[in-house]
């Protein structure tokens, strides 16, 4: 090639090969349909197994349709203005059915050829490593700032105490909430939410907003929430409950002009009544798709007139109701007030078209993903509160008929966990009820025999409309002394410590043990929108692994230690420590379930070590199932 002559075919091939070696993602799209006409090797690497050339970009990356990337390409073509993003999180479907998470920093620009818009060019860097490093650095910086934050956290603690820490788990209704603080240095705000399961079977859903921030706004918020909660729990109507809050606003200047959206929902029929007292109207996301805003009721803010008209509507099965504060609408750069964006993103999140969170309910996805997707590009200037409720099918009562054998415990534990998962119980409540019913079932196995020959145990559990689980364990025998005394005497005491109430009713034909415990699902009170959700623990067979330890016996235990496995664990620990004469460290980090029989086994091992004058160290991670049970029974453990 000489002078300004056009490149020859060989040169063009070399240039194409050079572009293909660029270490970042390049995608060239042509025409109004944005057909992908060029994609380099880096682009093909993040889209394995896909036909890319000659197809519209919306089809090539259809799995990103709910994550704002596809819309960005067509927005650039429509407006001629570039779009950039920094460290956007994306979930990409893989050929093997898995989902790959990556972070991308990108620029999408118009492709101008001879002064005419020809298409769009996208360039991006895979910055997943940088994003992970950033998150790690932020965590480290947070640790270093802890001393400074202690004084400020007093305000945050007040805010969290005044807001509900959890939402009731109810039959026929899944409820979720998220609260995102506007500024880390003046975190306390005036937003609040609440969900009240009333004695009449209706569920009251409340979202409110007090003007201002700081301790004063938080204190007023707490007062208004308490007044509304008491009135709603007493069974009064919407207008009467708001009138009580209005009277408070008339006496407390800082409560003046607070806004409230209050809804009463019947989970059985779907009947909905609501009032918007100076507040944005709720959003309904139907099960069949789309979204619609309810009409405002033209109620007045608190303390400004006391007018609270009530409107009626209905939710069909699967429909989702979203209450929110105006912080989600009044974001910097929000388009046309943000209502249309909120409706679209909420519909995508409810349908599972946005980020990949298979363990989350639709209500939780709407509350968490809507926050992330709407605030990550333009930020937010005020607190944001979201409260979602979806009508779902009522899960039937659980009934288990078990043989009176320790081998049945692991299967029962899985059945109980599956039922609790189906009704929407959170991990903490699953732990509590699994443990309580496991102790009661173990207790029944020890004496379940009767004159009628029925050596079986029945476990039943039901969730009532107040969000309370009532579970019973029934045997059909009389009392008999177990073969091994060390495993007895702790089960009932441990159960009573775990649940709200325990009642044991012995009778001529057997014993019925009843536990009652309220279920709550944690609300997300956030200082940033990308907090990770921990994976649920797995429950497997117990495994004993010997670790390097020199002259000391070091052992790791993994899996459940219950009546069916505790005897084997006891024997193995005593064998490896030579009857307690060799120092031993037992790592309980991987123990998924520690029953009273397992506690007894550890106590017996500890006694042997005391008699043999060889130290025994138990290691349990803070907050783990083993640590929680060891704390309850007073058995010392270390986190080292």
* Secondary structure E strands in 95-169: 99-113, 116-126, 166-168
| pLDDT at residue 16, as a whole number | 63
Rounded mean pLDDT, 555-570: 87
| pLDDT at residue 420, as a whole number | 95
pLDDT band of residue 335 (cuts 50, 70, 90) is: low
Per CATH, the architecture of 17-131 is what?
Answer: 2-Layer Sandwich (3.30)
- CB proximity list for 88: less than 8 A, separation 6 or greater: 67, 68, 69, 103, 104, 105, 106, 376, 377
Say yes or no to pLDDT of 393 above 80.
yes
| pLDDT at residue 517, as a whole number | 95
What is the reported pTM? 0.68
Domain coordinates in residue numbering, the chain: 17-131, 155-391, 398-522, 537-633
pLDDT band of residue 285 (cuts 50, 70, 90) is: very high
* Cα distance between residue 410 and residue 609, in whole Å: 30
With b for 16 or more beta-carbon neighbours within 10 A and e for fewer, the 184-212 pattern comes to eeebbbbbbbbbbbbeebbbbbbbbbbee
| pLDDT at residue 536, as a whole number | 44
| pLDDT at residue 480, as a whole number | 56
**Can you give the C-alpha Rg of the chain in angstroms?**
30
Q: How far apart are the first and last CA of the chain?
A: 70
With b for 16 or more beta-carbon neighbours within 10 A and e for fewer, the 40-51 pattern comes to bebbbebbeebe
| pLDDT at residue 493, as a whole number | 79
| pLDDT at residue 490, as a whole number | 66
| pLDDT at residue 263, as a whole number | 98
* Cα distance between residue 118 and residue 59, in whole Å: 19
- CB proximity list for 284: less than 8 A, separation 6 or greater: 291, 292, 293, 294, 313, 315, 319, 320, 321, 322
User: pLDDT tens across 592-635, in order?
Assistant: 888 888 888 888 888 888 888 889 999 988 888 888 888 887 77
Highest mean pLDDT out of 219-223, 231-235, 404-408, 607-611: 231-235
Judging by beta carbons within 10 Å of its beta carbon (0-12, 13-18, 19+), is residue 152 exposed, middle or buried?
middle
| pLDDT at residue 153, as a whole number | 60
| pLDDT at residue 7, as a whole number | 46
* Cα distance between residue 238 and residue 240, in whole Å: 6
User: pLDDT tens across 289-320, in order?
Assistant: 889 999 999 999 999 988 999 999 999 999 99
| pLDDT at residue 537, as a whole number | 44
What CATH class has 155-391?
Answer: alpha beta
Highest mean pLDDT out of 138-152, 310-324, 447-461, 619-633: 310-324
* Cα distance between residue 291 and residue 348, in whole Å: 10
Q: Is 199 helix (H, G, I), strand (E, B) or coil?
A: coil
* Cα distance between residue 170 and residue 547, in whole Å: 46
Say yes or no to pLDDT of 99 above 90.
yes
Q: In this structure, what token pair is assigned to residue 146?
A: 């802890």
56 vs 404 pLDDT, higher one = 56
Options 3.40.50.10420, 3.30.565.10, 1.10.10.10, 3.30.43.10; CATH for 398-522 is: 3.30.565.10
| pLDDT at residue 182, as a whole number | 67
| pLDDT at residue 93, as a whole number | 93
Average pLDDT of the chain is: 85
Judging by beta carbons within 10 Å of its beta carbon (0-12, 13-18, 19+), is residue 140 exposed, middle or buried?
exposed
Give CA angle at 71 (30, 287), nearest 5°. 135
Say yes or no to pLDDT of 4 above 50.
no
Options 1.10.10.10, 3.30.750.24, 3.60.15.10, 3.40.50.300; CATH for 537-633 is: 3.30.750.24
Say yes or no to pLDDT of 478 above 90.
no
Say yes or no to pLDDT of 254 above 80.
yes
Say yes or no to pLDDT of 374 above 90.
no
Say yes or no to pLDDT of 6 above 50.
no
């Amino acid at each position: 090639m000489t002078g300004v002559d056009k490149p020859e075919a060989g040169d063009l091939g070399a240039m194409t090969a050079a572009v293909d070696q660029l270490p970042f993602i390049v995608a060239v799209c042509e025409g109004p349909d944005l057909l992908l006409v060029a994609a380099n090797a880096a682009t093909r690497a993040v889209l394995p197994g896909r036909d890319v050339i000659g197809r519209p970009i919306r089809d090539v990356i259809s799995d990103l349709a709910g994550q704002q990337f596809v819309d960005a390409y067509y927005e650039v073509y429509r407006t001629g203005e570039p779009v950039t993003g920094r460290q956007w999180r994306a979930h990409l479907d893989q050929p093997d059915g898995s989902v790959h998470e990556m972070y991308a920093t990108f620029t999408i620009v118009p492709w101008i050829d001879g002064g005419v818009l020809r298409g769009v060019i996208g360039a991006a860097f895979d910055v997943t490593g940088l994003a992970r490093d950033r998150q790690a650095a932020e965590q480290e910086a947070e640790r270093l700032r802890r001393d400074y934050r202690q004084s400020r956290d007093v305000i945050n603690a007040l805010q969290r105490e005044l807001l509900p820490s959890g939402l009731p788990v109810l039959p026929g209704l899944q409820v979720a909430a998220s609260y995102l603080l506007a500024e880390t240095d003046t975190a306390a705000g005036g937003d609040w939410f609440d969900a009240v399961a009333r004695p009449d079977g209706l569920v009251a859903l409340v979202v409110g907003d007090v003007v201002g921030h700081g301790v004063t706004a938080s204190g007023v918020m707490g007062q208004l929430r308490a007044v509304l909660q008491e009135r709603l729990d007493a069974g009064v109507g919407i207008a009467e409950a708001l009138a009580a809050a209005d009277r408070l606003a008339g006496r407390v200047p800082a409560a003046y002009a607070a806004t409230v959206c209050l809804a009463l929902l019947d989970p059985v029929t779907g009947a909905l009544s609501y009032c918007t007292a100076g507040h944005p109207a709720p959003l309904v996301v139907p099960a069949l798709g789309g979204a619609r805003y309810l009409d405002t009721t033209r109620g007045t803010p608190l303390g400004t007139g006391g007018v609270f008209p009530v409107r009626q509507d209905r939710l069909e099965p699967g429909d989702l109701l979203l209450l929110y504060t105006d912080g989600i609408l009044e974001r910097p750069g929000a388009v046309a007030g943000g209502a249309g964006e909120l409706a679209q993103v909420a519909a995508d999140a409810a349908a599972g078209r946005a980020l990949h969170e298979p363990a989350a309910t639709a209500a939780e996805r709407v509350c968490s993903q809507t926050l992330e997707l709407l605030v990550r590009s333009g930020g937010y200037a005020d607190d944001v509160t979201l409260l979602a409720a979806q009508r779902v099918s009522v899960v039937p009562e659980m009934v288990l008929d078990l043989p009176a054998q320790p081998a049945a415990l692991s299967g029962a534990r899985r059945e109980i966990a599956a039922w609790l998962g189906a009704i929407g119980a959170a991990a903490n409540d699953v732990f509590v009820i699994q443990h309580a019913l496991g102790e009661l079932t173990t207790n029944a196995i020890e004496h379940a025999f009767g004159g009628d020959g029925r050596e079986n145990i029945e476990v039943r559990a039901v969730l009532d409309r107040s969000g309370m689980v009532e579970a019973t364990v029934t045997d059909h025998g009389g009392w008999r002394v177990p073969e091994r005394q060390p495993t007895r005497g702790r089960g009932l005491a441990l159960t009573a410590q775990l649940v709200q109430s325990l009642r044991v009713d012995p009778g001529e034909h057997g014993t019925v043990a009843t536990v009652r415990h309220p279920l709550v699902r944690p609300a997300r009170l956030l200082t940033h929108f990308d907090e990770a959700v921990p994976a649920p623990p797995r429950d497997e067979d117990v495994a004993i692994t010997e670790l390097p330890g020199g002259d000391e016996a070091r052992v790791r235990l993994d899996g459940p230690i219950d009546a069916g496995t505790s005897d084997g664990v006891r024997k193995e620990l005593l064998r490896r420590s030579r009857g307690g004469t060799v120092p031993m460290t037992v790592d309980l980090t991987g123990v998924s379930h520690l029953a009273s029989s397992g506690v007894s086994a550890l106590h017996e091992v500890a006694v042997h070590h005391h008699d043999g004058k060889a130290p025994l160290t138990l290691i349990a991670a803070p907050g783990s199932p083993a640590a929680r049970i060891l704390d309850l029974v007073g058995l010392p453990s270390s986190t080292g």
